[in-house]
Homo-oligomer: A and B are copies of this chain.
Amino acid sequence: MMEQASVKIEIAALIARKDHVALKKYLEPWLPADLAPVIADLSVEELASLFRVGSRELAAAVFTYMPLAAQRKLLKALNQEQAAALLNALPPDDRTIFLNELPLDVAMQLLAMLTPDERQVAQALLAYPEHSVGRMMTLDFVAVRPEWTVREALEYIRTHGYDRETLNMVYVIDAEGRLIDDVRVRRFLLSALERPVRELLDGNFTMLAPTDDREKALALFKQFDRVALPVVDENKKLIGIVTVDDMLDVAEEEATEDIQKLGGTEALDEPYTTIALSRMVKKRASWLVVLFLGEMLTASAMSYFEDEIARAVVLALFVPLVISSGGNAGSQAATLVIRALALGEFKLRDWWRVMRREFAAGAMLGLILGAIGYLRIAIWSQFSNIYGPHWPLVAATVAVSLVGIVLWGSLVGSMLPLVLKRLGFDPATSSAPFVATLVDVTGLIIYFSVAYLILHGTLL
């Protein structure tokens, strides 16, 4: 592949020379997906020249690969007629995604530029809820009738298939447009030409409703290795198809949402690099404040044990160590359970199995950390008097608390996502920081209770 920078310079030079013939020739062999990143940094005027010169199909295809900000800049630079031509040439599903990301008033202005037919299509797609299958579907599908022969079907495809975005599946519908079956295009290719289409049907197909959530579509694509799934209305009438290439984007967006929630922030819903600072701070501040208010309970818990701390300051030294270990164990458990839930590895009713696993894992992890903690204090005490003459009791307090707190953290971390899901919330809300905060407060109570039991009569 050529160096992007030099290509960009070449294009810019051709634009500057206004050499439209050479520019057109230069653009011809490019794939839209390749061209989009190369021209991303061109000035608005250069972009507009480029779009006036290129074919309408190339322009529309490149447009769908451009970032939103560049798309908006470009539309503004084109005159009314050019913008309308570009918008009308966009594939309906890509146009929906674009319109959807604009402020309502801008979107309305652009809708007005569409031909009546295209406007009807755009408005229909926009009427479906966000993240629904209806928003993602394309109307570019080929439907044939069961009574046709394979030859007739292929002839129909040859004459009507040019505009179709996807032609890997052919849909078979009855006279009322109701879906009867979907057939891979290869089956048409591999069949004798005089066979009726009816004989290619196997009656096995999966359908989506336009109101289905895109996560449902993703799950179906994963289960059935299909490149496209049909979308039908309540009368089983075929109204569109969803293609697998859009699913890669859905999978990525859903994973991003889960990851951001796990990190203790609201899902940004836009790229980190381009989101306005104020909007990002708002999304982060809400959770940070909730966690802060929750963590304030640690100050209350600590002040409840103020006398003990005053009598044995040594206890305060291990507070961050002990409670953070519980938080870390809880964060591990929560993350593993949330991801397993998202992948459908188990159901809510299996909570008992999960709890048993985490009880065993938490106990083992607690014993490991407890042993290390005990050794640490024992070894230090051979060289300094920092932990006083009662260091074996202090070490025992830390070790026993660690077992209890790590076990408790693992149980809280694993059960909280299940409880949230049961209550109808997104399990990913039980982020690492959320679990850590919960475990911090309860961990303090465990720690000081263990200290009271072990140190009563000596240090306390």
Residue ID in chain B nearest A440 by CB atoms: B320
Do the beta carbons of B432 and A264 come within 8 Å of each other?
yes
User: Chain B residues near A30 (CB, 8 Å)?
Assistant: 204
Asked if B292 and A369 make an inter-chain contact with CB atoms under 8 angstroms apart, the answer reads yes
Q: Check: A361 CB closer than 8 A to any chain B CB.
A: yes
Contact of B372 with A225 in the complex, beta carbons under 8 Å? no
CB distance from A86 to the nearest CB of B (A): 19
Chain B contacts for A176, CB-based, 8 A: none
* A220 CA to B60 CA, complexed, in Å: 21
The reply to whether B339 and A259 contact each other, CB–CB distance below 8 Å, is yes
Is A85 an interface residue when CB atoms closer than 8 A count as contact? no
Give Cα A345 to B316, complex, Å: 43
Contact between chains at B320 and A320 (CB < 8 Å): yes
Report A137-190 residues with CB < 8 Å from chain B CB: 154, 157-158, 161-162, 164, 167-168, 184-186, 189-190
Contact with B along A261-286 (1 / 0, CB 8 A): 01111001001110001001100110
Q: Are A227 and B168 in contact (CB under 8 A)?
A: yes
How many Å from the CB of A355 to the closest CB on chain B? 13
Task: Given A161-B186, A295-B325, A320-B319, check contact A202 B29 (CB 8 Å).
Answer: yes
Residues 414-436 of A at the B interface (beta carbon under 8 Å): 431-433, 436
Query: Which of B259, B288, B440 contacts A262, CB < 8 Å?
Result: B259
Interface centre among A186, A271, A324, by most chain B C-beta atoms within 10 angstroms, is A324
A372 engages B262 (CB within 8 Å)? no
Chain B residues with CB under 8 Å of A346's CB are: 272-273
Q: Is A353 an interface residue when CB atoms closer than 8 A count as contact?
A: yes
Instruction: Encode A371-400 as 1/0 by CB contact (under 8 A) with B.
Output: 011001000000000100000000000000
Instruction: Let me know if A260 is at the binding interface, CB within 8 A.
Output: yes
Cβ–Cβ < 8 Å partners of A3 in chain B: none
Report B-chain residues with C-beta under 8 Å of the C-beta of A328.
264, 287-288, 291-292, 433, 436-437
* Residue A323, interface by CB 8 Å: yes
Q: Chain A contact residues (Cβ within 8 angstroms of B): what range? A: 35 or more
Q: How far is the CA of A168 from the CA of B320 in the complex (A)?
A: 59
Q: Is the CB of A361 within 8 A of B292?
A: no
Closest to A256 in B: B339
Q: A332-B263, A339-B256, A432-B433 are in contact. Are A386 and B303 (CB under 8 A)?
A: yes
- Please judge, given known A-B contacts A335-B264, A345-B272, whether A158 and B248 are in contact too, CB under 8 Å: no
A335–B256 contact, CB under 8 A? no
Determine the distance from Cα of A227 to Cα of B334 in the docked complex, in whole angstroms: 35
Q: Nearest chain B CB to A363's CB is how many angstroms away?
A: 10
A324 to B337, CA, bound (A): 23
Is the CB–CB distance between A31 and B204 below 8 Å?
yes
Complex Cα spacing A432 to B338, Å:
15
B361→A281 contact, CB < 8 A: yes
CB–CB A161/B185 < 8 A: no
Contact of A361 with B320 in the complex, beta carbons under 8 Å: no
Expressed in whole angstroms, the minimum distance between the Cβ of A448 and any Cβ of chain B is 12
Inter-chain contact A245/B273, CB cutoff 8 Å:
no
Interface residues of A (CB under 8 A from B): 29-31, 33-34, 154, 157-158, 161-162, 164, 167-168, 184-186, 189-190, 202-204, 218, 221-227, 244-245, 247-249, 251-252, 255-256, 258-260, 262-265, 268, 271-273, 277, 280-281, 284-285, 287-289, 291-293, 295-296, 298-299, 302-303, 306, 309-310, 313-314, 316-321, 323-325, 327-329, 331-332, 334-340, 343, 345-346, 350, 353, 357, 360-361, 364-365, 368-369, 372-373, 376, 386, 406, 431-433, 436-437, 440, 444
- Apart from A185-B186, A289-B372, A295-B324, what are 8 other A-B pairs with CB-CB below 8 Å? A154-B189, A222-B248, A255-B259, A262-B432, A288-B325, A299-B317, A328-B436, A328-B437
